Amino acid sequence: MRLRRTPLPIFAFLASVVLFAGVATAHGVTTRFDAPIPLTLLFGGAGATVALTALFLSATVERTPTGMRRISVLSSGTVAALRLTARVAFLAIFLLVLAVGSVGPANARDNPATLFTWSVWLKGIGLLAVLFGSPWRTLAPWRTIYDGLSKLEGKQLALFDYPDQLGDWPALVGFLALVGIVENLTRIPDSPRLTAVLLAGYALIMLFGGVLFGTTWFERADPLAVLYRLFGRVAPLKIDGSGIDLRPPWRGCLPRVRSLSLAGFVVASVYTVSFDGFTETPEYQTILFWARDVTGLGSVVSVPLYLGGFLAFLAVFALVAMVTQRISGSAKRGGTRESWREMALALAPTVVPIAVAYEVAHNYPFVLQQLSRLLTVLGGTEIELLGWLSLPAFWASQVLLIVLGHLVAVVAAHYVALEHTNRVASVGRTHLPLTALMVGYTVLSLWIISRPVAT
């Protein structure tokens, strides 16, 4: 069932944000946010927008929308040719990155390897996944090499079956290590040679695991594959087979994830991008220097700070799942009572739009800025891809992306709540714990981006 009316207060608030925008900060932008209205009013308005949306949905929507429309169809031969071209091209770029990172300029700003790896690749492909679904199954260089080896062998390489007990834990551990620690807390992204070593090691681990366990390893153990696939859940344009489907951005967030490790991955994706932004604030610097003095660990103390914060986020999400399960238990479909673990699997995808919104808001300036630098380093004409974006417009984009992401998450959570209750009247109560979490995270996200950059 479609919405019977438009929530005018929501769009009025969003429009006011655009009209009364100030200046901002994020990756690559070093000015302080200077909101034209009191921050408490801004935070309260954003939080109220999310809460009122949940209330509105409880009163007007009764079942999950299933609309999806195919808007483009290509021939199977064309699709196969495009995929082969993309695979070969990305593999060639990957090998070039390894070579240039090893023997090229030592300055990260002048070396195409670092400029490409940490922005165009890691962040840029994530932005593509948000729009069109994950392209990583096609682009992953280690999977291309694996498929080539399998063709030479005449069969798919796999010495053993993938162990069920591993689940998606290798991908979660890999994400925490690669993105949470290496990218955010070490100097590796500033070293072309260390970046090349990291990529070579990553590729060897992926290839070795593929030979041992087959293609399942690439699906469940590659942190980039899992990350981009989660981002692709919100893609409004979904490339499927030989066509492109237009769909609501919450549609892909309705099916539950398959394991608790994957639910933990969702929480990690939300937390890590927030932590990345938080590390630039004076408040984090205060905590960091205090922890250094107390523990005597020096800069390495940032790692337990990061992991401790992740465990705290994980505990809060588990608590929300437990409370939601208790509330919905009396109205459970089929007369059986779900465990909190099953509820966590159902709720986890509804959090993905929040991770996506903050990921896009936090990183799109960084990607465009670094892409501009990469084009210049490669000998192209100097171009500023962010030149068209004024600071007021940038501030507006940050707030709009975060609030809209939370609204999509609220819609997804509402429809999931409908699937776990027999009566529409119970949906509001079932949805309440997750709504409270989303309101809190909306305010937290806006607070992080409103803080000055610590230099």
pLDDT in tens, 259-288: 999 999 999 999 998 898 888 888 999 999
Position 310 pLDDT exceeds 80 = yes
Domain's final residue, options 246, 265, 294:
246
Q: Which domain holds residue 345?
A: 8-67+249-450
Instruction: Tell me: do 162 and 260 sit in the same domain.
Output: no
Position 184 pLDDT exceeds 50 = yes
Whole-structure pTM value: 0.84
Q: Which residue has the tokens 């290509």?
A: 74
Q: Is 268 inside any structural domain?
A: yes
Instruction: Tell me: do 210 and 242 sit in the same domain.
Output: yes
Most confident of the following: 192-206, 321-335, 349-363, 434-448: 192-206
Position 180 pLDDT exceeds 70 = yes
DSSP assigned state of 331: G
Instruction: Tell me: do 297 and 353 sit in the same domain.
Output: yes
Position 401 pLDDT exceeds 90 = no
Q: Is 3 inside any structural domain?
A: no
Which has the higher per-residue pLDDT, 139 or 7? Answer: 139
Mean pLDDT confidence for 4-10: 40
Quickly state the pLDDT bin for 307 (edges 50, 70, 90): very high
Q: How many Cβ atoms are within 10 Å of 390's Cβ, its own excluded?
A: 12
Quickly state the pLDDT bin for 221 (edges 50, 70, 90): very high
Quickly state the pLDDT bin for 217 (edges 50, 70, 90): very high
Q: Is 2 inside any structural domain?
A: no
Is-contact 328 430, C-beta < 8 A?
yes
Domain's final residue, options 246, 269, 304:
246
Quickly state the pLDDT bin for 11 (edges 50, 70, 90): very low
Instruction: Tell me: do 295 and 396 sit in the same domain.
Output: yes
What is the rounded distance in angstroms from the CA atom of residue 6 to the CA atom of residue 428? 19
Least confident of 107-116, 213-222, 244-253, 376-385: 376-385
Residues, the chain: 455
Instruction: Tell me: do 432 and 443 sit in the same domain.
Output: yes
Q: Is 89 inside any structural domain?
A: yes
Instruction: Tell me: do 311 and 444 sit in the same domain.
Output: yes
CA angle 275, 230, 133 (to 5 degrees): 125
Helices (H), 71-140: 76-103, 112-115, 124-132, 136-139
Quickly state the pLDDT bin for 448 (edges 50, 70, 90): confident
Tokens representing 280 are 């630039």
Distances (CA, A) of 367 to 71, 101, 120, 123: 28, 19, 6, 7
Instruction: Tell me: do 410 and 266 sit in the same domain.
Output: yes
Instruction: Tell me: do 202 and 308 sit in the same domain.
Output: no
Instruction: Tell me: do 122 and 260 sit in the same domain.
Output: no
Domain's final residue, options 210, 227, 246:
246
Is-contact 358 402, C-beta < 8 A?
yes
Instruction: Tell me: do 112 and 179 sit in the same domain.
Output: yes
Phi, psi of 66 (to 5 degrees): -120, 10
Tokens representing 284 are 């984090």
Number of domains in the chain: 2
Q: Is 225 inside any structural domain?
A: yes
Most confident of the following: 42-46, 241-245, 402-406: 402-406
Instruction: Tell me: do 76 and 88 sit in the same domain.
Output: yes
CA angle 383, 388, 389 (to 5 degrees): 120
Instruction: Tell me: do 426 and 312 sit in the same domain.
Output: yes
